[in-house]
Amino acid sequence: MKLGMSLYTFGADFHAGKIDIYDALKTCAKIGCDGVEIIGEQHIPGWPNPSLDELKRIRETVSSLGMEIFCFSCYFGKNIRSDRPQTEAEMIQNAKKMISVASILGAKIMRPAYNANPVEVLIDYVNSVLPTLEEYGVIWGVELHAPHPPAYYLKALEAVNSPWFRLVPDFSCWQGPNAPGQIQTNELSTFEPLLKYTVHCHGKAHMFNENGEEPNTPYKELLGMLKDYGFEGSVVGEYEGWLMNYAPSEVPARTLFSLLEKHGR
C-alpha cells in the first residue's frame, strides 16, 4: 500500500498563517510520504474559483517532489449559497466541476464530504454523475465516517455497483470510546466486508503515547487487515490533535507517518 499525509494534519499552521500549501507539500516529501491528500476549501489558493495555472502548479510541485496526489477532498451540500439552498441541478453541476478539478490536479480519487440522509439521496446523486466520473477517470470515494454506520455505506456501494464509486474509511470509526469527540465506535470485524470497496483510507490520530502509538486507534489491526487483503491503495495520516492544542505541524506529521510505516510497510 502507499502511505502519505492529509494536509489537514497541518491545520494549526495553516490557520495561523505560518505556512501555505507549498510549504506543507515540501514537509510531506521531507518525511518520506508517497503522496498526499489536499482539501480544496482549506488548501488551494483562490478557492472556490482557483485558476487553472494554480491547479497545474500544485500538480507539478507534487510531481517534482516525487509524490502523487492520492485524493482531492471537497465539501458538497445544499447550503453553499448564502441566499438560498442549491437546487438539485446546481448540486450536480458543482459535483461535475469538482470532478474536473480532481482531474486537473492528477488525483484519481475525489472525496466529497456529503452527509446525505436517507442513503437513497446519496445513491441518486452519485448515479447522476457516474458518466462524468468515468469520462475523467476519477473515483468518487465516499468517506465512511460518523454519524452513519458501515451498513449505510454498504447499501450505497451495492446499489450504485460501479468501479467509479468506492469507499474511503476513516479510522476514527474503529477508535476506542476514550477518543476525543468519539460518538460512534464499531467492532473491527465490520472493516472486513468493506475491504473490497476500499481505495483510500484516513488514518485518524489525536495524540501519541511515549512509544509513538495512537492510544485510541487500532492502527496495527486495521493496517494489518489491509496488508492481509493485499490492499494496493493509499492510506494518509490525518492528525486532529491541533484542534485541541497548538503544536508545530511537522512534529505530529513525522510521528504519524512513522506509525503508518511501522504497521503498514
Task: Describe the chain by its helix, strand, coil percentages, rounded to 5.
Answer: 50, 20, 35
Please give the radius of gyration of the chain, using alpha carbons only, rounded to the nearest integer: 18
Q: Which residue has the higher pLDDT, 25 or 245?
A: 25
Task: Give yes or no for residue 81 having a pLDDT over 80.
Answer: no
pLDDT at residue 177, rounded to an integer: 84
Range of lowest pLDDT (10-19, 30-39, 179-188): 179-188
Residues 200-257 pLDDT 10s: 999 999 999 999 999 999 999 999 999 999 999 999 999 998 877 656 689 999 999 9
Q: Which amino acid is at 203?
A: G
Nearest to 28 by CA among 81, 70, 57: 70
The pairing of beta strand 165-169 with beta strand 2-6: unpaired
* pLDDT score recorded for residue 61: 98
Those residues whose C-beta lies under 8 Å from the C-beta of residue 193, and which sit 6 or more positions away, are 150, 154
Q: How does strand 234-239 pair with strand 2-6?
A: parallel
Judge contact between 140 and 102, C-beta under 8 A: no
pLDDT for res 146: 82
Its sign, for the CA torsion 48, 52, 56, 57, is negative
- Report the chain's mean pLDDT, rounded to a whole number: 94
Q: pLDDT: is 244 or 191 the higher one?
A: 191
For range 131-158, the mean pLDDT: 94
Residues 161, 153: Cα–Cα separation, whole Å: 12
The number of CA neighbours under 13 Å toward the Cβ of 68 is 14
Given a contact cutoff of 8 angstroms between Cβ atoms, the answer to whether 1 and 226 are in contact is yes
Return the C-alpha cell found at 30: 521531507
- Residue 185 reports pLDDT greater than 90: no
> Right CATH number for 2-264 from 3.20.20.150, 1.10.10.10, 3.40.50.2020, 3.40.50.300?
3.20.20.150
Alpha helical stretches, state H, the chain: 11-15, 21-30, 40-43, 52-64, 88-105, 119-136, 150-160, 219-229, 250-264
Q: In the chain, what are the domain boundaries?
A: 2-264
Q: At what angle do helices 219-229 and 250-264 cross, to 10 degrees?
A: 50
| Percent of the chain clearing pLDDT 90 (strictly above) | 82
